[in-house]
Amino acid sequence: MKTPVSSMAFMLVASFIGSFGAVFLKSGADRLNRRDLWTIVLNWHLAAGIFLFVASSIFFLMGIKHGELSVLYPMVSLGYLWTLVWSRIVFGEPFTRTKFIGIGLILLGVTFLGLANR
């Protein structure tokens, strides 16, 4: 069974949206007050993060429906790449050599798995 390009595209979209979800969850977590339950309930950053993770899951389901899980699931790890970029932009987190090496290895692995589909 070959994995269609459309399934791969759905996985890319899922990883992209999921990375935004992680940023919103972090942003919401930074605003939490341990003693006040309402900071959780009324925290729109947390709500947005949860919404984005649900949306990401929908694209994930659409992607795995017609493709090989062994090819598609590793594509979710591309979310680490997006999250690295958003973390730098939103939170000012530094790019480091170690992070770039890790992302490079992830991209290499995803590439090899994609080539195995051919």
**Residue 36: what pLDDT?**
72
Specify the higher pLDDT residue, 100 or 118. Answer: 100
DSSP string, 15-37: HHHHHHHHHHHHHHHHT--TT-T
pLDDT digits 0-9 by tens, 52-78? 999 999 999 999 999 888 888 888 888
pLDDT digits 0-9 by tens, 91-114? 999 999 999 999 999 888 888 877
Specify the higher pLDDT residue, 21 or 110. Answer: 21
What residues contact residue 78 under an 8 Å CB cut-off, 6+ apart?
A: 11, 12, 15, 16, 106, 107, 110
**Residue 47: what pLDDT?**
92
**Residue 14: what pLDDT?**
95
Mean model confidence pLDDT for the chain = 88
Residue 1 pLDDT exceeds 70: no
Percent of the chain with pLDDT over 90: 55
Let me know: does 87 contact 23? Beta carbons within 8 Å. yes
**Residue 69: what pLDDT?**
86
